[in-house]
Amino acid sequence: MGMLGVLSGTIIVGKSNLFKNYQTKKLNTEFGQSFAYITNKIVLIPRHGNDPKKHILPHLINHRANLQALKDLGVTEVVGINSTGSLRKDLCPGMIVVPDDFLTLTATPSIHQNSATHTTPSLNEEVRQKLIKAARNCQIQVVEKGTYWQTPGPRLETKAEIRMMANYADIVGMTMANEAVIALELDLPYASACSIDNFGNGLLEKPLGMDEIIAGARKNADLMIRLLESYIEINF
């Protein structure tokens, strides 16, 4: 029946019943090392690492190793659990968006280093629809379409950047486009559920800080866990 691959933070492991019984494994891939939590149905890779004292910043994440590790472990589809900021006042913290497109104006990593290989980036529509169905199954409201703008990080965006991005996208983050591109190159169906953890810098008068973002992500963790548990229940 296959296994589900998940890219997220570690909070899901500590709070979800999906991880009552799991093993941990360090994986060496051709692109470097990764780390996974493994159960009989799910392989979760914490994109920022498993050590809170050694948090891997967004621009330093080895996306190629993480996705290759999932493929090596035999997952059949991948869900990204991504934290984002809102670019619109009607998309509020606490909401979940299942984006159908993304954009980034900086280079994304690739598994292809010495050959001219071209792909048309996209999010997998089948996995997207499974996420939407899983949300409905557990009575979670989600925004079923949206455009994700990826910035390289690790810094936050300026107010002027947020104003410009708001003309073309709905949410902003630092990881999803990289994951989507590499997953496509590896023939891994990938889509994302994005929690809105804060308003973008300048949308509100109050200055945006990392404390607010972290607090928002922790607050939304329970919603994302419910969504993931429903996804597993329906599909695995």
Mean pLDDT for the stretch of residues 220-227: 91
36 pairs with which residues across the strands?
25
pLDDT of residue 114: 67
Non-local CB neighbours of 69 within 8 Å, separated by 6+ positions:
27, 29, 34, 36, 45
pTM: predicted TM-score of the whole model, two decimal places: 0.93
How far, in whole angstroms, is CA 48 from its chain's centroid? 11
User: Is residue 84 a contact partner of residue 178, using CB atoms and an 8 Å limit?
Assistant: no
pLDDT of residue 123: 98
Q: Which residue has the tokens 């499974």?
A: 130
All structural domains of the chain with their residue ranges:
3-235
Q: Mean pLDDT for the chain? A: 92
pLDDT of residue 9: 84
> What dotted CATH number matches 3-235?
3.40.50.1580
pLDDT digits (tens, 9 = 90+) for 14-60: 788 888 889 999 999 999 999 999 999 999 999 999 888 889 999 99
Check residue 49 and give left, alpha or beta (phi > 0: left; psi -120 to 50: alpha): left
pLDDT digits (tens, 9 = 90+) for 2-24: 899 999 987 788 788 888 889 99
Which has more pLDDT, 119 or 184?
Answer: 184
pLDDT digits (tens, 9 = 90+) for 155-179: 999 999 999 999 999 999 999 999 9
pLDDT digits (tens, 9 = 90+) for 114-150: 665 677 889 999 999 999 999 999 999 999 999 999 9
pLDDT of residue 220: 83
Helix (H, G, I), strand (E, B) or coil at 60: helix
Mean pLDDT for the stretch of residues 89-100: 95
Question: Is the pLDDT score of 193 beyond 90?
Answer: yes
Backbone angles phi, psi at 80, to 5 degrees: -95, 130
